[in-house]
Amino acid sequence: MGTLDGKVAIVSGSGRGIGREIAMKLAGAGAQVVVNDLDADPAKETVAAIEAAGGRALSCVGSVTAEGFAERFVQTAVDGFGGLDIIVNNAGYTWDSVIQKMTDEQWDAILDVHLKAPFRILRAAQPVISARVKQARAAGEPVPCRKVVNVSSMAGTGGNAGQANYSSAKAGLLGLTKTLSKEWGRYNVTVNAVAFGFIRTRLTESPAGGGDTIDIEGREIKVGVNPNLLSAMEQMIPLGRAGLPSEAAGAVYLFCIPESDYVSGQTLLCNGGLAL
């Protein structure tokens, strides 16, 4: 018996990186998972990996910022697996610049993906969750504990130079987390956040030391951090290294299991002990 047997989860941005590890972790514990990515191939690959390991998964391809996506994402879980128990808002990227050089487009794009998109997904999920809770109570059945985990960052708890947009969005997500923990307590839903420190992903590592780019909806976004800077950052971390995507997924998993059913409105720092 898996810890999450019978649960249905949606994980945004789960075709690659940390999101993929989260989806695999939840599926490995028995959850049925809706996988999302901007691109079809990574989403299909994650679904195939889950199924190869004996789990169940579906894909919901598209941008979390697109009109109507949130409703489609939630409905994929309901239509495909019959419900919705776990929501992980993970999708995102960075588009950095100092404030005097940051454009409105940069600001809006990052606020949209990291704050507006989670808001829309949670708003779309509310009618589904509310209806299921009412049904259970009308039938005299116990209301299961559902889970929301919002992925934030240490940039949102302490700020980070060159990331006014990202830091603001991730800080706003913490406010949304605390508010929803109060609004949804009556539904027996816990709402928590995990704030990551330095995790090694395609957004931080680049063979060119920061010269690589990724395509985000037609925008070429620079990724990668200079290897010398990465090494200096790791020396500041008490554990002496950056985190792995699997370790980041483990922190999210802690908020999804029954052992955390009485923990809500909290932010867990997953950062190897780094203090700002």
Per the annotation, the verdict on 166 as an active-site residue is yes
Give the residue from 138, 116, 14, 124 showing the smallest Cα distance to 78. 124
As given in the structure block, the two tokens for residue 127 are 């009618």
Angle at 187 between CA 186 and CA 188, to 5 degrees: 90
User: Annotated catalytic residue: which of 166, 187, 253, 262?
Assistant: 166
Which residues are known catalytic residues? 166
